Chains A and B, each alone.
Chain A
């Protein structure tokens, strides 16, 4: 075998149009250092260094090499990067080489050449498709053990174990008149025409240079230039136009409804040093008025025994390596094909110095032109023949070639043997119809070219060039221009057709012979493995087996064999699999159908899709204007929805319990101060505002006097409590509603929904003012004195300023609204000031209250204080299954109003049932014992599971003011159980807690403290 070992000898620098052979860079693969050139892909650089073995297959651990040159590569997957930048499963064909790149092979142990997993290959007869469904079932308990081994063997690459991705990702939203996807011959022409018609154009190209196939072939001339020169020039011209955005290294991976495209731009992946100011990738979210897809085509492999050996390559890929990177993939090659086009790849390699010893074509009559050229080059041909088996251990060494019957179903003669170190294969072309299909466009099987082509579109989109099955360059150009003109017109633009470039290209008949598997001459299931899906190790006989077992639908075959489900997403395997399936089912390919294409076109970075919405920006934290004060006071914080609220303020050496008890006592003995700014606040205005509230809340609102406050409960349409709060009438047509902290956004949505969709006739306007007001709640016997000390022009005496009313004025010179409402049961003022004065208000009150023993208290003390009073918290005493009646709050449900949300639902039979869960109080037998919240009550603590549960504890605290614990619970028929004893079994196995059912008002049941 004549292998060249010297890198330079492997390079043909005259032809290498995509690399700079004077810019050598070094990289490592599996720890060894190699040289490549700027512009290389990892695959081309490895081939240039004669490295062909790049990985091991998923299931059988067979040696695998580089088969393709683009996104369709199934075999050459490597891990790249170091530390937090480690990325597994990257196709070597898609890595732009940079200095210092570190790449490692995957799925092998201990080394690539000597892989223990290869033992699977030996036993492969026992592992056909779906074998695991048929075994590993006995004994049942062993499955987890088997599975452990299966899991370890599965998976491909390894994720980083340092876990922190040091890179940053960005997103951009953009609108364009016309988006062109793909910068090959067709795409460049479409973009040119669109741009010259004054449209705002985005041209996205996957590679770092435009040109596509123009870079790989050497037989297309445009306007007197070589194809790639024309591409470079045109791209440059486009990039300079103001109305054009040209994005190289950008993959359009998704095509959603209403021409919504998602594109991944790789910004720094190709750089050795990653500049700190640049994101690694940018996600473009684009709305396009018109889309032109020019995504090209992918060559199909042929299915024959041993077609997966390193050294077996797509013919077009070998030509790409030669012309773009100056690399000869071998020294002694054989082409096996079913079409004319691939012959030219073989000729190109032959002329560059790779001896093509034979061209094997399954057809008997290729075009005379290619036969003539082969003869002129002295290449032998075998017509009506195929490679029936390929041999070699870690690399292709020998093939068997045999004549086939006319239909290609069977052998028609003896096999000959040929030595070789390279096999070029070509089974025809697959247009890249993925994006068209993602956009819900239909596909049609083309009987002339034997491939799926786009048919009708669902979106404003057109496919042009090879992705439309128009492989002929001159036809592709025409199509592209026409499509661009059509798009311009559809956008209302004035379009003048540009002169088409002058193109000289060889005339090629692209029609392949439909042959989906080359027979091996052996009965089905025997002989070497003929791969359909290389990465997932799915063979032709696996597909046959699936059909034999009744898995006929293409989706069943896919799922049973896993064909098409690997990281190349079936780009090279789908059509061959369909062909074999159709043959096995005695059906036509279009009748068998195709699986749907979905986002993403190629595997897409998760980090990029997450973008910047992680870390601190995952969900912005909301804080109150007084937040800084709480922090400086050493408060502990609690998450409440998006808010961070002061939870309690421990003093030196204090435990949480001690701190909370101190705060709770102070609020009842002197005064406490709570930051209540997070409460939801909605400004409700309009002539129908009172009527609107009357329908939303369960109680009556029409007659509430101006300046007065009222507590309200709102129910969902199912009659269940959804939120509560105090709402105040500011004027006849103006109300200020408060909601729970966590419920604020949901309540506003709810109100808007009813207003907009059900009661559009009501004149009401809703505005969230949560963040416009800062609120300090001053509560306790000394509240009035402190407020007076702080200085206010509002008379505070109980007669002038009654409970449940609001006064507007000033506090210490700050404009304020004071609401006399109470969530503690003490004399209490909720002082609202414009948010910017929040801190001033807080510090003023703290200063004024100092001599009175004012104590800031947090949310935990607030919970205990209201718990002592038996006040509910929506979301704690309720969970969407609790009615106002269940809460013992029938008094708040009007029976006079004609309607309110939930009224009808509350009339249903089950709402009247006597065994509903109802809110009650609990006193533990041992007053010091606090029942854990969430514990469930039962009458008989000794019964075995399933235990008859009465319900659960919703709130539970130790009350320092009462000297015993207080709890509330929702218990079945609770209101009829006053005085009963219930038991709460404990999770940790300690004895059940015993408690008596009581009223929920534990402290000051008559409410005498409200007036101080």
Chain B
């Protein structure tokens, strides 16, 4: 039998990973695209690794990539129960910004932002990081004051942020309803020009391909069912593909963090809730930035494909079913039509939900645990996509050195005992 399509991709992979470029594209075009390599190997687990990352979402894959590229740990594996990026990474609305209020937040999100800015080149994969700006709008005197507070803090932290008047907003976003007599008129806003969106799947794939290139095993369709301990030390993970040994295990499983923690006898201060999003049919460009509104409660952008991408807040109940309740999109779309009347005549094309893991203070957990060698990175809630590179980078550092660096340190689990919370609730509202 002739060489199968898969075999061809695998054979090509045995050569060193080929660079993607306009030239390789042209070369392959001549060759009817028969010579492209597999983006990553479909690895089967080895008996033992130096470190195991549970969860093949963006954060997990980024962790593996930085473990290999920064800390030279290449005998490691990423274990994913389904397909790479199939969790929240592949479900989120991809808003990226670093204009957070508290210093601790500013420092990790800005760290991520700087990594985003060179990521396509680092990974040799176009993750379509598009800095079209994120504009947060204010609808009351109270919100204007909040905005002033945030912009002052953000600027003093050296992060870009501009206040826009209603007139400037009208120019910047011509389709926004700027009528000052509507229920919640747009009274101003602040813009982070470096904010924007990225292509979520590409982030997972780009990290996977680059990590694989350095020897990281990426194991899909393999669910972790137990954490093997010896006294107070982790020694491996039990999976649907058998026991895999390792003395360092990092859990990066977003909506399933409490379940994993439970396997180690740890109770996480996390509530898991559905978060919904939807897109319209694709239309020619009408919106060239990201808009977020806390009071009217929705956010919106337009994808490169032309779809209007919309989201709002979480459903108010705990659940592991990746679907939400209908009143949420009803309210979200009413808010959207209120601010963007043009949407009334468009149609919802797809709608979905993901399970987000939220901490009481709306900030993540990047932490060691009471079990030596077991680390958690979770609690990113509704807004962790934007942190992906930064989160992976500092988590890799934590796993490699067994101590948090300055950026990660405030996010230790112990803060729920000491009370040193990083409360982004008041500051975030719709936290994306």
Contact = CB atoms under 8 A, between A and B. Distances in A.
Contacts of B336: 606, 610
> Most chain-B Cβ atoms within 10 A of its Cβ — which of A135, A154, A254, A606?
A606
Given A134-B24, A613-B331, A556 B83 contact: yes
A598 B350 contact: yes
A647 B331 CA distance: 29
Contacts of B86: 553, 555
A946 B152 contact: no
B346 A88 contact: yes
A81 B121 CA distance: 45
B90 A639 contact: no
B136 interface: no
B326 A158 contact: no
B227 interface: no
Interface of B: 4-6, 8-9, 20-22, 24-26, 29, 32-34, 36-42, 82-84, 86, 90, 103, 106-107, 117-118, 120-121, 124-132, 139-142, 145-153, 155-158, 163, 175, 182-184, 199, 201-202, 205-206, 220, 280-286, 296, 302, 304-306, 323, 325-326, 329-331, 333-338, 341-352, 360-361, 415, 417-421, 423, 425-427
Contacts of A524: 5, 32, 34
A160 to B, nearest CB: 6
Contacts of A550: 9, 38-42
A629 interface: no
Interface string A597-616: 01110011111011101111
Contacts of B132: 144
Contact of B421 (A143, A718, A935): A718
A526 interface: yes
A305 to B, nearest CB: 14
14 contacts: A89-B282, A134-B125, A144-B132, A147-B128, A156-B283, A524-B5, A553-B84, A599-B351, A610-B337, A611-B330, A616-B183, A638-B140, A875-B142, A934-B149
Q: Which 4 A-B pairs have the closest CB atoms?
A: A155-B306, A945-B158, A934-B148, A525-B32
B118 A140 contact: yes
A450 to B, nearest CB: 22
A256 B149 contact: no
A156 B153 contact: no
Given A89-B283, A552-B42, A609 B155 contact: no
Contact of A160 (B8, B128, B281, B342): B342
B342 A163 contact: yes
Contacts of B423: 720, 879-881
Interface residues of A, number: 117
A621 B128 contact: no
A640 interface: yes
With a 10 A CB-CB cut-off, give which of A85, A640, A987 has the most chain B CB atoms.
A987
B281 A156 contact: yes
A84 interface: yes
A285 B326 CA distance: 9
Nearest to B34: A525
A719 interface: yes
Interface of A: 58, 81, 84-89, 125-126, 128, 131-138, 140, 143-144, 147, 150-152, 154-161, 163-165, 254, 256-257, 260, 262, 285, 523-526, 541, 544-545, 547-553, 555-556, 559-560, 562, 565, 567, 569, 584-586, 598-600, 603-607, 609-611, 613-616, 618-619, 621, 638-640, 647, 718-720, 875-876, 879-881, 905, 908-911, 932-936, 938, 944-947, 949, 952, 985, 987
Contacts of A87: 345-347
Nearest to B37: A549
B425 A952 contact: no
Given A138-B21, A157-B281, A160-B345, 18 more contacts: A88-B283, A89-B347, A134-B125, A144-B130, A155-B284, A156-B282, A157-B283, A159-B284, A159-B342, A524-B32, A549-B36, A606-B347, A611-B334, A615-B338, A720-B423, A905-B419, A908-B418, A947-B158
Contacts of B182: 615, 618
Nearest to B4: A586
Contact of A908 (B37, B139, B306, B417): B417
Contacts of B184: 618-619, 639
Contacts of A138: 21-22, 121
Most chain B beta-carbon neighbours within 10 Å: one of A616, A618, A949: A618
A285 B330 CA distance: 11
Contacts of B306: 151, 154-156
Contacts of A86: 345
Contacts of B117: 140
B13 to A, nearest CB: 8
A143 B38 contact: no
Contacts of A128: 29, 33
Nearest to B296: A618
B345 A85 contact: yes
A616 B182 CA distance: 7
A720 B206 CA distance: 43
A303 to B, nearest CB: 16
Contact of B145 (A548, A569, A600, A933): A933
Contacts of A553: 82-84, 86, 220
Contact of B282 (A567, A598, A945): A567
A615 B183 contact: yes
A695 B60 CA distance: 44
Given A525-B33, A551-B39, A615-B338, A609 B348 contact: yes
A135 B5 contact: no
Contacts of B280: 603, 606
B25 A135 contact: yes
A597 to B, nearest CB: 10
B126 A133 contact: yes
Given A524-B5, A556-B84, A718-B360, A135 B346 contact: no
B126 A567 contact: no
A713 B280 CA distance: 46
A720 B347 CA distance: 43
Given A134-B21, A598-B352, A163 B347 contact: no
Contacts of A58: 282
A154 B346 contact: no
Given A606-B346, A607-B344, A618-B334, A137 B121 contact: yes
A297 B128 CA distance: 39
B284 A585 contact: no
Contacts of A585: 6
Contacts of A285: 326
Nearest to A945: B158
Nearest to B162: A987
A905 B286 CA distance: 49
Given A526-B32, A598-B350, A609 B329 contact: yes
Contacts of A144: 130-132
Contacts of A945: 155-158
Contacts of A610: 330, 333-334, 336-338, 344
Given A567-B282, A936-B156, A134 B330 contact: no
A933 B175 CA distance: 31
A541 B5 CA distance: 11
Contact of B156 (A126, A910, A949): A949
Nearest to A543: B5
A909 B418 contact: yes
Contacts of A598: 323, 350-352
A545 to B, nearest CB: 5
A549 B9 contact: yes
A567 B26 contact: no
Nearest to B22: A135
Contacts of A81: 345
Contact of B152 (A260, A619, A934): A934
Contacts of B341: 163-165
Contacts of B130: 143-144, 147
Contacts of A567: 281-282, 349
A226 B106 CA distance: 72
B421 A604 contact: no
